[in-house]
Amino acid sequence: MDKQYRKAIIAGNWKMNKVASDVKIFADELVPLIKGFEGCCEVVVCTPFTSLTQSLCAFSGTGVCTGAQNMSQHSSGAYTGEISGTQLKDLGVEYVIIGHSERREYYGETDNSVNLKTKAALDNALVPIVCVGETLEQRETGITYDLISMQVKAALHGFENLPNLVIAYEPVWAIGTGKTATPEDAQSVCKFIREVVAGLYCNECARATSILYGGSMNDKNAAELLSQPDIDGGLIGGASLKPDSFAIIINAANG
Ligand code: PGA
């Protein structure tokens, strides 16, 4: 299967949960549960900004990477309250989630800002995890594939060559709702995303791109979702907050 050409990635999105002093306790519980994951799948924990340093310390030497959940499109300057890619890179952060649907819905992020943030992340050698996904209304009106195609193309606008990024398919109606997409539906959209990438660049580029599924992935449904040929991992919210359920998902990715 083509999966050998790309990295499996399990990324936890903690959203606005936990305080800095929780991180070491979490890491101490998680790490023994995922022994031997190195070299199989990449594990990323995307914490709030206030916990990034603690995450980098707590996971140092374990192979678990630290990611942020957002960043500014600007590199520095008078942008009160914002955090730049330079600042994240300087801390040692490796990944950053871009364009999560909660950012799009509550903070006015657009396809254009997602594109600019993706560029800013790459300029700082951070790996962007670019989120795309349709709302329930969009799914019901039958525009899922057109919308996903538009979102992927917009995120990649202006890149002559396919950059080093990860794409996460997160149907908005499945996020935090307990309603997971069926493995078939999730596979179908992830496969479609790969086709869009292939159309923009080349088949080999698309084959090497990690595409994740996100939306109520948990310790019970992860194995089946992750066994789909075009689902290379997961972006996990709720179930990434508990070391035991997150470990089960990581171990499922390692098959
Ligand atoms: P969930 O969140 O797993 O809690 O549905 C996923 C996400 O928002 O990335």
Active-site residue (options: 42, 102, 109, 170): 170
Per-residue pLDDT in tens (0 to 9) along the chain, 255 residues: 689 999 999 999 999 999 999 999 999 999 999 987 776 899 999 999 999 999 999 999 999 999 999 999 999 999 999 999 999 999 999 999 999 999 999 999 999 999 999 999 999 999 999 999 999 999 999 999 999 999 999 999 999 999 999 999 999 999 989 888 899 999 999 999 999 999 999 999 999 999 999 999 999 999 999 999 999 999 999 999 999 999 999 999 987
Nearest to 241 by CA among 9, 16, 77: 16
Can you give the pLDDT at residue 180? 87
Angle, vertex CA 87, rays to CA 111 and CA 42, nearest 5: 70
Angle, vertex CA 100, rays to CA 95 and CA 105, nearest 5: 155
Q: What is the pTM of this model?
A: 0.97
Active-site residue (options: 42, 100, 102, 134): 100
First to last CA, the chain: 14
Sign of torsion, CA 194 86 14 219? positive
Q: Compute, in angstroms, the gap from residue 129 CA to the centroid of ligand 1.
A: 13
The backbone torsions φ and ψ at residue 195, rounded to the nearest 5 degrees and listed phi first, read -65, -40
For residue 97, the SS3 value is: strand
